[in-house]
Amino acid sequence: MPLPPRPHISLSALTVHHRKTLALDALTLDFERGVHGLLGPNGAGKTSLIRVLATVAPATAGRVEVLGHDLADRRALPAVRRRLGYLPQDFGFYPGFTVREFVAYVAWLKELSRETTGAAVERALERVGLGDRADARMKTLSGGMLRRAGIAQALVNEPDVLLLDEPTAGLDPEQRVEFRELLRDVGRDAAVLVSTHLVEDVAAACTEVTLLAEGRVAYRGTTEQLAALGADPAEAGDHPIERGYTAALRHHRATAPSAAGVTR
Amino acid sequence: MNIPAAHRGPQPWHLTDALVDGYATHSLAEPDAWSVETHVEVCGPCAARVSAAVRATDAGPLLAASRTALLGLCRTPAPHTGLPGLLPAPAARAELPGLPAPAPHTRRTSFLRSPASPTHRHRPWWSTGPALRGSWLASLLLLITAALALAYGTGVDVPRSALLALAPVLPVAAVAVSYGRGVDPLYEIAAASPRGGLRLLLTRTAVALAVCVPLLTVTGALLPAGQGGPAAAAWLLPGLALTLGTLALATVLDCRIAAAVTGTGWLLAVGLPALAARPPRDYAQAQASAHALTESLSRYVNGLGAQAGWALAAALCAGALALRRTAFDHAAFDHTTAHGPRA
């Protein structure tokens, strides 16, 4: 199947209001294939952006195109949703379900055919290393395993757009290394957006970084470019990416004509 | 090499326990290990002993994981290259997260599909959602049991009226527990799925109706009618209208609040006259209240006019739901995400 000729995700002047709060302020961005890190302080709009792209929250203004479909066109929503994988920041589950049933249920929600569901579920579980826990009940899983089950459900339809909101929360260091490997693998064919607080994840797995602050793009560049910003060891942070993050954010706040820190 | 030469002839010979343990714990000299391997290729019993010994070591869980991984591979849709095979344990562990993958855009049907996969077995229940797995089903069964027990245990003719007065509330309650951030743990994921939204809510409501309509109607028919009491099927149109009304209200309110509004409205309309007339203190008064309930219920459901009214109400609610269907396109506003500390 040929890839869509247009970018996987294209935003122009995307604005999102939550009641009186301005969550996203006229964002214009494209995301191609690859693994994209979404960084930013709390309240920067990372979750708001991911939820709009997941078709869960509507845009207040502006245009959002995912896989060539305008999300404002409600008839296009099912087609986009079929090709989408989404791990919410907090996700629930039916406690009585086994891990396999949980992922299979999402496969059903994603309209996978009956014939492909079984294999797709096993494969998603293998990819997150839960193959041996497929028959365990969800309520018996540890935090890290739950998170992996969440990642498995997001992968079950082999999405073209994968949206992960804080996916490494609760994973131990070894699992995070395996998870980054998985991200790179998925990112070869799909656009993967990872919102995270953990800069090491960005450094290791992402090809490109978008730093949001107060609903705007504070910085955009490759991981190497952000690390280069943090070359000055006097900057706050232990890791070049961390220092680059601080430097980019400080630069944005110094130059952007906005009420800094409104929603912190 | 400590395998006696006499043992390597054509005569039957089997691995000693020391050899088996040594092989499993990697403590054999290499030539001895090769001998063990050559032998287990042709000797089933010894192969089984070696397998058991290896599984009992630290490598056991990793081997089990490799096995699961391999079985998983056999079920994946696309043919693979670079099968990991039976790698030694440390390598198997390294292979697990990055198992060879079919290209994400291939959607081939699998050749080797396990027909009895558990995901297939549970499929019909998936669409039921939370209602049939939780307290809703328990309430339904409790109501039916209580009605039958009262009718045949006490001989009071209240149960049919009481059952029919309560019956329309059950599908309404099913709507309440079927959809929404507070009641469906998978709400956010479902909202991002093609089957989510109104479609899922309607599927779940339909399943709940398919379960409770026959059960309640048959139970109603089994109960003594009493004088002038409504027919067992009289609740169907009111039930449908109230359910559709709840769904229509759910386009502007949370499902639970919508259900509370319609359910309470119905119960008050039907039940208040019975309670207001004579608060029951003894058996005779209870009987009198029962008759008041029957009368009140009959007013709402008996006769062509009342039923036509409910049919019209159902049609109007269905129309309102159709007009407002876009309300389910996105998830309801989430306070915790928008204003929470981690937004």
Residue A256 Ramachandran class (φ > 0 left, ψ -120 to 50 alpha, else beta) = beta
Any B CB within 8 A of A18 CB: yes
- Complex ipTM: 0.91
A110 within a domain of the structure (yes/no): no
Angle between helices B198-222 and B169-176 (to 10 degrees): 150
Residues of A in contact with B334 (CB under 8 A): 51, 57
Give how far Cα A6 sits from Cα of A10, A30, A33, A35, B236, Å: 8, 10, 11, 17, 52
Q: What is the side-by-side strand order in the sheet with A61-66?
A: A21-31, A9-18, A61-66, A69-70
Domain with A57 in it = 1-83+204-259
Residues of B in contact with A54 (CB under 8 A): 191-192
Contact B159, B223 (CB under 8 A): yes
Give how far Cα A107 sits from Cα of A33, B24, B36, Å: 23, 41, 46
A212 within a domain of the structure (yes/no): yes
The whole-angstrom distance between residue B246's C-alpha and the CA centroid of its chain comes to 23
**Structural domain spans, chain B:** 5-55, 128-331
Contact B149, B141 (CB under 8 A): no
**Between chains, do A47 and B342 touch, taking CB under 8 Å as contact?**
yes
**Between chains, do A119 and B75 touch, taking CB under 8 Å as contact?**
yes
Contact A60, A17 (CB under 8 A): yes
Any B CB within 8 A of A122 CB: yes
**Between chains, do B342 and A89 touch, taking CB under 8 Å as contact?**
yes
**Between chains, do A98 and B118 touch, taking CB under 8 Å as contact?**
yes
**Between chains, do B193 and A106 touch, taking CB under 8 Å as contact?**
yes
Any B CB within 8 A of A31 CB: no
Instruction: Kindly report, residue by residue over A74-109, the tens digit of the pLDDT.
Output: 999 999 999 999 999 988 888 888 999 999 999 999
- Strand ranges, E, within chain B: none
The predicted structure's pLDDT at residue A153 = 96
Residues of B in contact with A96 (CB under 8 A): 133
CA distance B197 to chain A (A): 10
Which residue's structure tokens are 């909202």? B191
- Any long-range contacts for B286-292 (C-beta under 8 Å, 24+ apart)? B286/B156, B286/B158, B287/B156, B287/B158, B290/B156, B290/B157, B290/B158, B290/B161, B290/B162, B290/B226, B291/B226
Any B CB within 8 A of A238 CB: no
Query: Which helix (H) or strand (E) covers residue A127, if one does?
Result: helix A114-127
A209 within a domain of the structure (yes/no): yes
**Between chains, do B343 and A105 touch, taking CB under 8 Å as contact?**
no
Q: Is residue A61 predicted with pLDDT exceeding 70?
A: yes
Q: Is A28 strand, coil or helix?
A: strand
The predicted structure's pLDDT at residue B87 = 34
Type of residue found at B67:
R
For residue A212, the cross-strand partners are: A217
As a whole number, mean pLDDT of residues A1-7 equals 58
Token pair, residue A249, equals 């954010």
Residues of A in contact with B330 (CB under 8 A): 55-58
As a whole number, mean pLDDT of residues B131-139 equals 81
- The CATH number given to whatever domain includes residue A10 is 3.40.50.300
Confidence of residue A178 (pLDDT cuts 50, 70, 90): confident
- How many structural domains does chain A have? 1
pTM for the predicted model, two decimal places: 0.74
The predicted structure's pLDDT at residue B278 = 57
